[in-house]
Structure 1
Amino acid sequence: MGAITLLPGAARAQAGFPAQPLRLIVPFAPAGTTDLTARLVAQGLGERLGQTVVVENRPGAGAMVGSEAVARSTADGYTLVMSNIASHAISPSLYPTGAVRYDPVRDFTHIALVTSNPSVWVANLRSGIADVAALLQRARSQRGGLDVASSGAGSSNHLLIVQLAQVAGVSLNHVPYRGAGPAMTAVIAGEVPAMSDSLPSAAAHVRQGSVRAIAMSSETRHPGFPEVPTFREQGLDIVSTSWFGISGPAGLPAAVVARLNAEIRAVLATQEVRARFAEFGGTPGDMDAAAYGRFVAAEFARWAPVVKASGAEAG
């Protein structure tokens, strides 16, 4: 009887949502993959919901600042976060006990997977680094090792730098920035010679020729960038994929979750969005909320021992 009486209320909640604009928190600086993905989806989602979806950048602490803000927000569906491999799989294990003030599984309602993509390593045009062999040679010959930038501590690209150093037996110094945009600017200017970046945020720079792409972390060459060899082709067994989704605080009403999941997946299925993802190297997701929740839990469980074994630390 109780379940039957709850159904009309749930239906009304779904029918009345949303009654005001939504905030989509991006826990990284503008111009990075998370930001580009958020703005692409927010536009279509807002049109389908009939409300503006405002994208707000709140970078810091390996994507944990913005993520924590959403975990502590009211569970009404109006404050969401671009959950990602950094904020919900890597950073919670990378930072010391006490620094992480949320549980990536229990403190969120995971709504939908948006996209996944490989990483690409790029080098400054004047660095003389044309491929992975040249990068490793520079790292071996340069006193103190080679500086390599990323969008920040806790990102998958941070761990990729650690992994490459271990696999190749060289010294690579992680140089974290507050987002992929500032890091890419530093590489173009020659402040750092190379960068590990997610493909979507690097794609335009690679196509414009403002940086040189030297390796892709996909299993095979990416169809959008067939000229860029993989790490495996260059003798290193390294494969890595980043992912991005949309989540809210724990306890979101089921009807709201169902509505958001359906609308997000509808946006991802449009020809326009699929074409944009193909353009910058992303693969659209298609999971219901329960599947995405299981996916995030599995990724957190997968990366925790990797972070510990790597010896990587935030900073």
Structure 2
Amino acid sequence: MFKAIRFIALGLAVQGPVFAAAESYPAGPVTIVVPYAAGGLADNIARPIADALGRELKQPFIVENKGGAGGVIGMGSVARAKPNGYTLLLSLSGISGLPEADRLLGRKPAFQLDQFAPIARITADPNLLVVRADAPWRSVAELVAASKADPQALNYGSSGVYGAMHLPMEMFKAASGAQITHVPFSGGSPALVSLMSGQIQTAAAGVANATTFLKSGKMRALAHWGSAPLASLPDLPSLKSLGYDAEFTQWSALFAPAGVPGEVTTRLREAMKKIVAQPALQQTFASLGSPIDYMDAPEFARYWQADAQRVQAAVRRIGKVD
């Protein structure tokens, strides 16, 4: 099951088919596909990265949102794209569980993990358990108690089934016994907009996506899914510290289609190393509440393999979702 990621980790130094254009890459615009709706966590990360890469590599890097099916549509389009470096993917950690979900549902997976070559991890943050600021629940215990008192009353939103907002909430429900109904959306931003409008009552939001709402006082965080205190929210408890055995990290990363020439991969890796060291970009991500937590391709490939094992195990525990 995990041979694919091990192959990527071992094969990063292997040169793929060398295109004549690789030496001058990029020679034209590059598309970064975000497989979620505009305004969500991945989109908020992709746009400053695209802008910085464009300045570094002297060509436009254009963000294209292809939301739907929890990210499957956009991810699948990149998996099938020509491996020349002109179509890239900026995805969240939910990518790891989607092929397993397809197998669970008796479908042929829309893509396999070995169809992507990791370039770099950009951020890695635990999700936040959030509610509207005017919600009656001031703690996780109160939210859980309310859900058990009326199992039909509370809904939570996500960016799609088995995605990076769905998995942590289902982990939390299993750990707490909370009765909260899942409502999938086309991306994280539409889910949070629905939370603000009162259509749903809670969500597992990425730090970067929730920060604006938190700073404006429109949203309240009850806890996070991390294992250590958050620098941006040091007083916010973790679910584990409250006695709920639920942990989840929502990372973001840049990928290319597998088979991209080694020269192109190297060029992208070198550019990513340079831009993430820029104070301006670091400040941009810090202001989002999601500081850069960079990993270069070899280290990230190893990390991804281990994380994929955890995520796929969680998908199997959730089981088939109609």
TM-score of the aligned structures, taking structure 2 as reference length:
0.89
How far residue 145 of structure 1 moved from its aligned partner, in angstroms, is: 5.6
Moved more, 222-231 or 65-74: 222-231
**2:3 alignment partner in structure 1:** none
What does 1:207-226 align with in structure 2 at a 5 Å threshold? Answer: 207-226=215-234
SS in 1 for 2:294: coil
**1:3 alignment partner in structure 2:** none
CA distance in 1, matches of 2:165, 2:317: 16
**2:316 alignment partner in structure 1:** 308
How far residue 158 of structure 1 moved from its aligned partner, in angstroms, is: 0.7
Q: Is residue 264 of structure 2 the alignment partner of residue 256 of structure 1?
A: yes
**1:241 alignment partner in structure 2:** 249
Tell me which of 156, 160, 177 is aligned to 2:164: 156
**1:281 alignment partner in structure 2:** 289
Residues 47, 272 of structure 1: alpha-carbon distance in 2 compared, 3 angstrom cutoff: same
**1:295 alignment partner in structure 2:** 303
Moved more, 303-312 or 59-68: 303-312
Counterpart code for 2:281: V
SS in 2 for 1:224: coil
Provide Cα deviations, 1:35-70, integer angstroms capped at 9, x if missing partner.
Answer: 111001101001001001000000111211101101
Residues 218, 301 of structure 1: alpha-carbon distance in 2 compared, 3 angstrom cutoff: closer
Counterpart code for 1:236: Y
Is contact 1:224–1:279 with CA below 8 Å preserved after alignment? no
Tell me which of 45, 49, 53 is aligned to 1:45: 53
Is contact 1:123–1:130 with CA below 8 Å preserved after alignment? no
How far residue 233 of structure 1 moved from its aligned partner, in angstroms, is: 3.3
**1:193 alignment partner in structure 2:** 201
Provide Cα deviations, 1:118-138, integer angstroms capped at 9, x if missing partner.
Answer: 101111233312210111011
CA distance in 2, matches of 1:223, 1:192: 28
Tell me which of 199, 211, 225 is aligned to 1:203: 211
CA distance in 2, matches of 1:263, 1:73: 22
How far residue 13 of structure 1 moved from its aligned partner, in angstroms, is: 4.3
How far residue 99 of structure 1 moved from its aligned partner, in angstroms, is: 4.7
CA distance in 2, matches of 1:75, 1:182: 31
CA distance in 2, matches of 1:50, 1:276: 21
Q: Is residue 137 of structure 2 the alignment partner of residue 129 of structure 1?
A: yes
**1:172 alignment partner in structure 2:** 180
Q: Is residue 105 of structure 2 the alignment partner of residue 100 of structure 1?
A: no
SS in 2 for 1:83: strand
Identical aligned residues as a percent? 28
CA distance in 1, matches of 2:185, 2:202: 13
RMSD: 2.0
Pairs aligned (count): 305
Residues 213, 108 of structure 1: alpha-carbon distance in 2 compared, 3 angstrom cutoff: same
TM-score of the aligned structures, taking structure 1 as reference length:
0.90
CA distance in 1, matches of 2:165, 2:221: 15
